[in-house]
Structure 1
Amino acid sequence: MGAFPQTIHFIGSNTPRRLEISVRNLDVEGQIPREIEGAFFRAVPDSAHTPMFEDDIALNADGMVARFNFENGAVDYDIRYVETERYKAEKKARRALFGRYRNPFTDDPSVQGVDRTVANTTPVWHGGRLFMTKEDGRGYEINPHTLETAGKWDYYGALRSETFTAHPRIDPETGEMFFFGYEAGGLCSLDVAYGIADKDGNLTSEQWFEQPYCATIHDFVITGKYAIFPIFPTLADLERLKAGGPHWAHHQDLESWIGIMPRYGKVSEMKWIKGPPGVSSFHQVNAYDDGDLVHIDLCLTETNAFGFMREAGGIDKPQQEIQGALTRWTIDMSQADPQIHERPLGPPGDLPRLADADQGRPYSHAWYLSMNPQGGPPMPGGPVGANFNALLRIEVGNGRLELMGVPPGAAISEPAHVPSSEPGHDGWLLSVIDIPNHPDPSQQVPGDYTSELWIINAGEVAKGPVAKVRTGLPLRSQVHGTWVSREKLNASKLQA
């Protein structure tokens, strides 16, 4: 193709930028809290070349790792491509060589056998190392000081799984990282690998099991006792891929499942609990034990939130009509035949953020993104084609909500959380806001906006930002991000 398609995957905040840049001393309005010392890393999909197919999607774009670096009240910004095998092959050829999303049968023959992952979903920090991850392959290690790509990470050759999740969970007390990879044994396999790495980043356990059907398992959760795998009926099919079709198709008539096992146990102890049909959740907030009860809090929707996955399954439902809620699933593990008991916790939304100290434990509050009915039409862009325009803080015990809106037509990205050393303080949230350059909605042009990084008191989100970092640039939509303190950066395994 000679130009980028003018679809939702390439307009608005999905407009290709393709810039590797460094900007020092960004303008700051307000006062940056002294506790914000370190770096906010963001995973930003951005295609380096025009795609092979008109119906390409944002999730198929090359991964870029972006960084807001906070140092003594100053803020610098850097962004670089993750130099995956795929990126380097296309850079050499000066054109796209990889075809449809997660379908190797549509690739140029010259790249047969080349690692297809774009490492564009989540920056993960563990064991003194930074990884860029996407669930269709292994992570790539990034130098956190230079943003240079060190290479694929396989735990010194110990990891057998061909894939690594974009959503591992780290226990705040032990420092262990619990993770998984689906399609671990190859394309469309039922194999799921469940792994544990110790606080120093050494692989201590890897076990494999089979899921009920080949589903996309984007996220999972841990508690003090259990590892929990929520599985929803968005399925892969090898014959469909061989015919040049999509990797994923949602099946509205199939049941969902919960796989639950002791987190230090054997996969042979896995219990499979049937859930409601047709539902979908890409992100879970948290899970925790309450005696024999296990509570799992999910951003749940009645069908798949991604249009291309619904369409492949023959589901014709407009994005704005999809119903959902922040939902709690409770399971009584003392029962011989455990069932899922469901109740809503809060309004629909996604991209939740939990304080790291609350991971796998009883918690009082969390944050997630939603839609503000008074905010006007959403800015086009983001992974599903329409951005969020509100940040919510929810108290999960009583349902109390606080809302922070953004300017009309603006978009908000998933926040990162920075803890506070002050007792009783909720800490701080960092979130990129994309603001249209024209205040009149009728005259706004998709892609014509400027991005700012807002710093928000996490316990008082309704008051808005305490500081704004102005980039002067339109930044392409991120998927996920993570905060790394200066102390951790100074102790990183890779140094500048």
Structure 2
Amino acid sequence: MNAFPQTIHFIGTNTPRRVEMSVRNLAVEGEIPAEIEGAFFRAVPDNAHAPMFEDDIALNADGMIAAFTFTDGAVDFAIRYVETERYLAEKKARHALFGKYRNPFTDDPSVKGVDRTLANTTPVWHAGRLFMTKEDGRGYEINPHTLETVGKWDYYGALKSETFTAHPRVDSETGELFFFGYEAGGLCSDDIAYGIADKDGNLVSEQWFKQPYIATIHDFVITEKYAIWPIFPTTADLDRIKAGGAHWAHQQDLESWIAIMPRYGKVEDMQWIKGPVGVSCFHEVNAYDDGDLVHIDLCLTDTVAFSFMREAGGIHRDQQSIQGALTRWTIDMSKADPQIEERPLGPPGDLPRLADADQGRPYNRAWYLSMNPEAQGPPMLGGPVGANFNALLRIEPGNGRLTMMAVPPGAGISEPAHVPSSQEGHGGWLLTVVDIPNGPPGGNPADYSSELWVVEADAVENGPIAKIRTGLALRSQVHGAWVSRARLDASKVR
């Protein structure tokens, strides 16, 4: 194609911006707390070239790494492409060479064997290094100070898995990183690799096991005792892919599963627990042990949220018809045949955020995005599913207490990052980008301004205490990560 399609994947906050830049001293309204020192990194898919196919999707865009850097109350912004093998091949050719989402059989023959990952989903910080990840390949290391691409990361050649999840989990007490890769043995393999890296960034364990069907496993969770993979029936089929079809298709009549094993154990100790039929989840909030009970809190829906995955499976439903809730699955591991007990915790939503210190442990609050039931007018177009969230929720899962921060009419909000405070009793802050229409809601969907809001994490209902105005329309973020000044100063790459 010579131009970008005018579909939901290329309009609104999905409008291609295709600009690498740096801007110093952004305008600040309000006062930034002195403890917010460091960088907020964001994964931003943005097409460097028009796609090969009209029906391309937002998730198939080149990865960009963006950073809001906080220094003594001043904020700078920068964004650069992740120079993956794929990006560099297309940069040289000056046009797209890679075809449909996760389908190498639709690529130009000239790039056969070139790494297809876009590294466009999640910035991950561990052991002094910053990575950009996407679950169809290995991560790419990024210089956290310049945003230059260092190269692919394979733990000094030790990693055997061909893939690395976009959602590893870091235990804040031990410093270990727990991760996995699905399709670990290559396209449409049913292999899952489970890895552990120690606090110094060395790979100390990698074990492989099989899943019951080839599912997209976007996220997983750990507790102090267990590693847990919720598996949902959005599946891959090699014959369909070879015929030029979709990599993923949701199977509404297929059961879900929980795979659970001791987190330092052997895969031979894995237990498989059958879950509800047809449900879907892309992000879990957290999991923790409660005696013999294991609680898993997840953003559950009655079918898959991505329309292209539904349609490939023959499911034709409007986005507004999807039902779901923030849901708790509880498993009693003392039983010979453990089952899932389910109860709702809160309204539907996604893109949850947890304080790093609570990872894998009992927790008293979390944050996630949802839709404001009192919003006037349609949501802002864009984002991975075509419509942006317009409310930030804070939930206390123990008692169900819920508070909300809404955004202006027609605006959209991105996944927040949590910044901890050293002050006793202070819950820290949230950083979240809000995209605000420049005209009346329903006007030009590409005409908006992006602001970074600073919000009291335990008082979201009060709105932002500071706004950092970019003067730019930023493309939709997928995930983000906060890295403190101390960690930045101790980075392995300078």
- TM-score, normalised by the number of residues in structure 1: 0.99
The residue number in structure 2 matching 1:51 is 51
- 1:216-365 mapped onto 2 (5 Å cutoff): 216-365=216-365
- 1:66-215 mapped onto 2 (5 Å cutoff): 66-215=66-215
The residue number in structure 2 matching 1:462 is 461
The residue number in structure 2 matching 1:488 is 487
Query: 1:377 deviation in Å?
Result: 1.1
Any runs of at least 4 consecutive aligned residues in structure 1 with deviations exceeding 4 A, and if so which? none
Query: 1:2 deviation in Å?
Result: 1.3
- 1:15-54 mapped onto 2 (5 Å cutoff): 15-54=15-54
Unaligned runs of 5+ residues in structure 2 are: none
- 1:345-494 mapped onto 2 (5 Å cutoff): 345-375=345-375, 376-438=377-439, 440-442=440-442, 444-494=443-493
- Using the alignment, how far apart are the partners of 2:91 and 2:374 within structure 1? 44
The residue number in structure 2 matching 1:14 is 14
Length, aligned pairs only: 493
Matched residue type, 1:462: E
Query: 1:255 deviation in Å?
Result: 0.2
Query: 1:373 deviation in Å?
Result: 1.7
- Using the alignment, how far apart are the partners of 1:328 and 1:420 within structure 2? 28
- Using the alignment, how far apart are the partners of 1:345 and 1:34 within structure 2? 34
- Match of 1:240, SS state, is helix
- Using the alignment, how far apart are the partners of 1:76 and 1:8 within structure 2? 31
Query: 1:304 deviation in Å?
Result: 0.1
- Using the alignment, how far apart are the partners of 1:463 and 1:306 within structure 2? 32
Matched residue type, 1:87: Y
Q: What do residues 386-409 of structure 1 show as CA deviations (whole Å, max 9, x unaligned)? A: 100000000001111000000000
Query: 1:435 deviation in Å?
Result: 0.1
- Using the alignment, how far apart are the partners of 2:441 and 2:32 within structure 1? 31
- Using the alignment, how far apart are the partners of 1:470 and 1:366 within structure 2? 26
- Using the alignment, how far apart are the partners of 1:326 and 1:422 within structure 2? 30
Matched residue type, 2:479: H
Alignment RMSD (CA, Å) = 0.5
Query: 1:441 deviation in Å?
Result: 2.2
Q: What do residues 203-226 of structure 1 show as CA deviations (whole Å, max 9, x unaligned)? A: 000000000100000000000000
Query: 1:383 deviation in Å?
Result: 0.6
Q: What do residues 304-359 of structure 1 show as CA deviations (whole Å, max 9, x unaligned)? A: 00000000000011001100000000000000000000000000000000000000
- Using the alignment, how far apart are the partners of 1:377 and 1:351 within structure 2? 20
- Using the alignment, how far apart are the partners of 1:478 and 1:26 within structure 2? 19
- Using the alignment, how far apart are the partners of 1:172 and 1:486 within structure 2? 17
- Match of 1:472, SS state, is coil
Q: What do residues 378-437 of structure 1 show as CA deviations (whole Å, max 9, x unaligned)? A: 101001111000000000011110000000000000000000111111110000000000
- TM-score, normalised by the number of residues in structure 2: 0.99
Matched residue type, 1:480: H
- Using the alignment, how far apart are the partners of 1:420 and 1:489 within structure 2? 17
Matched residue type, 2:405: M
Query: 1:457 deviation in Å?
Result: 0.2
Matched residue type, 2:459: E
- Using the alignment, how far apart are the partners of 2:116 and 2:337 within structure 1? 41
- Match of 2:8, SS state, is coil
Query: 1:172 deviation in Å?
Result: 1.0
- Using the alignment, how far apart are the partners of 1:226 and 1:424 within structure 2? 30
- Using the alignment, how far apart are the partners of 1:378 and 1:266 within structure 2? 46
The residue number in structure 1 matching 2:64 is 64
- Using the alignment, how far apart are the partners of 1:148 and 1:83 within structure 2? 8
Query: 1:61 deviation in Å?
Result: 0.1
Q: What do residues 216-245 of structure 1 show as CA deviations (whole Å, max 9, x unaligned)? A: 000000000000000000000000000000
- Match of 1:310, SS state, is helix
Q: What do residues 130-161 of structure 1 show as CA deviations (whole Å, max 9, x unaligned)? A: 00000000000000000000000000000000
Unaligned runs of 5+ residues in structure 1 are: none
- Match of 1:9, SS state, is helix
Q: What do residues 444-475 of structure 1 show as CA deviations (whole Å, max 9, x unaligned)? A: 21110000000000000000000000000000
- Using the alignment, how far apart are the partners of 1:41 and 1:310 within structure 2? 31
- Using the alignment, how far apart are the partners of 1:101 and 1:11 within structure 2? 18
- Match of 1:110, SS state, is helix
- Using the alignment, how far apart are the partners of 1:17 and 1:374 within structure 2? 31
- Using the alignment, how far apart are the partners of 1:379 and 1:453 within structure 2? 17
